[in-house]
Chains A and B, each alone.
Chain A
Amino acid sequence: MGTAQILFWSLTALALISAIMVLVSKNPVYSVLWLIVVFFAISGHYILLNAQFLAIVNLIVYAGAIMVLFLFVIMLMNLNTETEPQKSIWMKFFGVVAGGLLLSFFISFVISSADLKGKSAQLKEGEIGLIKTLGKALFNDYVIPFEIASILFLSAMVGAVVIGKKD
């Protein structure tokens, strides 16, 4: 087992354990903190796949910006165990059953998909996630969607100003 594989399995275990901890933590602030660990583990996976840009963006956007937003909202709403609505045991039971069925449904499809058997991910040598490749693809083939995406941001900005401005 090479270094890459050891790293892969340890990161996978970390991601799964912290994802479970997000769900079982009673305190929402702890959930958010565990979620940050999940994002770091997934960023580690991206680095293993030689996609440094994606890893950094994942950290900046998700672990940085979105998690701060999450924390703010949780603090403003002042959530704790007293205010948490108590769900009946049957709700929880059916939730687990439905979620588990959906999960096994997707897993079975992924496993049964013939194309995926015997294929392994490119560790370290993949070129596709490098920022140079990404930039070339973005400004050559995908320049029109890139421009349209900038119009998308324009519309988001105008919308936010319209809704948020004082009269």
Chain B
Amino acid sequence: MTEQQLMALLPFMVLAAASIVIILLIAFRQGHTVIQVTGFLLMCLVIFAMWYVRGVLPQTIAPLLIVDGFGALFTGLIVFCVLVVGLFSYIYFEEREENPREYYILIFLSTLGAAILTISRHFMSFFIGLELLSISLYALIAYLRTRNNAIEAGIKYLVLAALTSAFLLFGMALIYMETGSMDFAVIAQRLNAAGKSSALFLTGFGVMMVAVGFKLALVPFHLWAADVYQGAPSPVASFIATVSKVGVFAVFLRFCQELHLQNNSAVMMLISAVAILSMISGNILALRQQNLKRLLAYSSIAHFGYLLVAFLPGNNTGVEAAVFYLTAYAITILAAFGIIILLSPGEKDADSLSMYRGLFWDKPFMAIVLTVALLSLAGIPLTAGFIGKFYVLTAGVEQRAWLPVIVLVITSVIGLYYYLRIISTIFADSPVTIQKERSLNQFFYTASYAALVVLTLLLFGIGVMPAVIIQGIKQFLVIDR
């Protein structure tokens, strides 16, 4: 391994070292605040390392990893999400007076798994990254084990994730049997040499889709989503909604790009069927939902359906649209979960919609942030969600994927109903039911509010001036291969 390859891996090594540092801090009996601040600084260090090594990119670390602009972009997004989630976690766990210190180890290990997914170009690293991501998530979901729902959600996720891992391995084995390699590039070569797509490859891909669909909560593998979002602690739910999905989507996107699967009509049909089903059922299931966390779960199913429409073209526009959409989605969902976390009273989460009745008259700041986040999820102009959806539509229309595009438009309109329903609840004229004493560390409250303000400003900023972000994404994607 050359010096430059080591350099390129530096951010990932810092990320791996971060969890060890936290373990040592726990061993030396440091408090929650010290661990939180150290964790925050370490994540900043990862981002700094990423910026520091940008000159040596792209680097291929044969045979498993490739650190290129694509990987750096997604890793940056992931680390950004972890920064925000970590910040919100402090208040959440401090109020529950549970011991939250091991939580940070697991969060960082899980992040490492997601980061490895973004730079993998081989089935081996794909699988190891995915396992690292999900094994830490099992423990994270069940972290507050005194709550009934937590254990149920943890077990549900464990059983289903283990099963889908088996599916993933089986699919990989079938593709290996067909092509004799686990390297994405070599698989692409062999498939091109063979000319037509074989039944064995299609079966393997279909079986792999089970695992990918499970991780991205796509229909028909979405059954866990609502229960896990509800049962998991709110910061963990936001972690699943952003980091875990971004990582898996990144590796899936790289795999399909490398193999030029957009030319394979059978695969495209499969993916568009999944996209259409996800858009329709995600939105319909959310319609009557009274629990905000479950509602966000269903809306995330629908959003990843939209994202697959951007994915269908498979050209550069599609990749840009997907990255842009994911960024906008991550910021939005973090803002929404941030509000849930800040409003949650000690013993349970503020997830029932009735708790938000008349929120505007009591806490106008939070109500406005939540409203902006919901408008962005619905795709209202001037917010990031609108530009994201517009970009996705452009990519879809360019490829003439009419059916998914039409379904996207119709289901977006359906989606508007339940987002507006929440907004009307927030502004309803009635006394608010969330009572919460604030005696904790004022500094972290200020930091969390500041984070929320930044997220909201980002939502508007991207919505009003998308060109800046799009230019940035394009510049990163140029450092490719």
Q: Which residues of A contact B (CB under 8 A)?
A: 105-106, 109-110, 112-113, 115-116, 141-142, 144-145, 148-149, 151-152, 154-156, 158-163
Contact = CB atoms under 8 A, between A and B. Distances in A.
B199 A109 contact: yes
A53 B110 CA distance: 31
Q: Which of A145, A148, A154 has the most CB of B within 10 A?
A: A148
B142 interface: yes
B112 interface: yes
Contacts of A113: 177-178, 198-200
A116 B132 CA distance: 34
A154 B109 contact: yes
Contacts of A110: 177, 200
A148 B132 contact: yes
Contacts of B268: none
A105 B145 CA distance: 43
A152 B131 CA distance: 7
Nearest to B63: A141
Contacts of A115: 178
B135 A162 contact: no
A155 B135 contact: yes
A19 B145 CA distance: 39
A76 B112 CA distance: 37
Contacts of A158: 23, 102, 105-106, 109, 136, 139
Among A142, A144, A160, A163, the most chain B Cβ lie within 10 Å of the Cβ of A144
A161 B64 contact: no
B178 A159 contact: no
A149 B9 CA distance: 16
A145 B139 contact: no
19 contacts: A105-B203, A113-B178, A113-B200, A141-B63, A144-B61, A144-B64, A148-B112, A148-B125, A151-B19, A154-B19, A154-B109, A155-B136, A156-B135, A158-B102, A158-B106, A158-B136, A158-B139, A159-B136, A163-B145
Contacts of B65: 144
Task: Summarize B's interface: helix, strand, loop or mixed.
Answer: helix
Contacts of A141: 62-63
B128 interface: yes
A155 B198 contact: no
B51 to A, nearest CB: 23
A116 B379 CA distance: 51
Nearest to B179: A115
A103 B135 CA distance: 30
Contacts of A145: 64, 124-125, 128
Contacts of B43: none
A17 to B, nearest CB: 24
A151 B139 contact: no
Interface in B202-261: 203
Nearest to A144: B64
B143 interface: yes
Nearest to A149: B128
B138 interface: yes
Contact of B124 (A112, A142, A151, A155): A142
B139 A162 contact: yes
Contacts of B61: 144
A121 to B, nearest CB: 13
Interface in B112-163: 112-113, 116, 124-125, 128-129, 131-132, 135-136, 138-139, 142-143, 145, 154
Given A106-B203, A162-B106, A151 B112 contact: yes
B16 interface: yes
B132 A152 contact: yes
Q: Which are the 10 A-B pairs with shortest beta-carbon distances?
A: A159-B139, A155-B109, A155-B136, A162-B102, A152-B132, A113-B200, A148-B128, A109-B200, A162-B139, A156-B135
A144 to B, nearest CB: 6
A115 B191 CA distance: 13
B110 A155 contact: yes
A93 to B, nearest CB: 24
Contact of A163 (B132, B139, B198, B199): B139
Interface string B62-90: 11110000000000000000000000000
A163 to B, nearest CB: 6
Nearest to B15: A151
A163 B109 contact: no
